[in-house]
Amino acid sequence: MRCTEELIVDDWLIEQFRTKLKKASIIAERKNRPFILYNNVIEESEHAVEEEVITVGRKYVIMQTISYGGFIPVNIQKQQIFTLDKFSLWIMKESRDTLLQCFNNLVHLD
C-alpha cells in the first residue's frame, strides 16, 4: 500500500503534467500541427523501424505504434486516443518512465 506522502507527490505530479499538457495543446492548435510529446524506437532492423509516438493535438493525445522503412509502407500497428485528462491518469498508471520522459519534453513550455 502506498503512503500518504507518495499519493500527495503523485497528485502534484499529475496536476503539473496536466497543466503542461494543456499548454502543449494550445501550442498545437495555434501552430495547426501536433506537438510531439514522446517518441521511442521499439525495434530497429537494417531496413525497418517500429516506433512508438505520442502527440498532442487540440483536445486529444494520440499514441501510435508505427512501422516504416525499406520496402515496408508506413503502417500504424496500434493507435489509442485519449482526452488530456484521461491520458494524464492513464500514463501515471501505465508507465512512470514514459510519464517522466513526456514531462521532460513539456518542461520548456513556460
pLDDT digits (tens, 9 = 90+) for 95-110: 888 988 998 888 877 6
Q: How far apart are CA 93 and CA 87, in angstroms?
A: 10
Q: How confident is the model at residue 18 (pLDDT cuts 50, 70, 90)?
A: very high
pLDDT(67) > 70: yes
Enter the pTM of the model.
0.86
Coil, strand or helix at 79: strand
Q: How far apart are CA 70 and CA 59, in angstroms?
A: 34
Strand-pairing partners, residue 65, are: 52, 78
Pair 79, 62: CB distance under 8 Å: yes
How many structural domains does the chain have?
1
**Could you list the residue range(s) of the whole structural domain that residue 47 is in?**
4-109
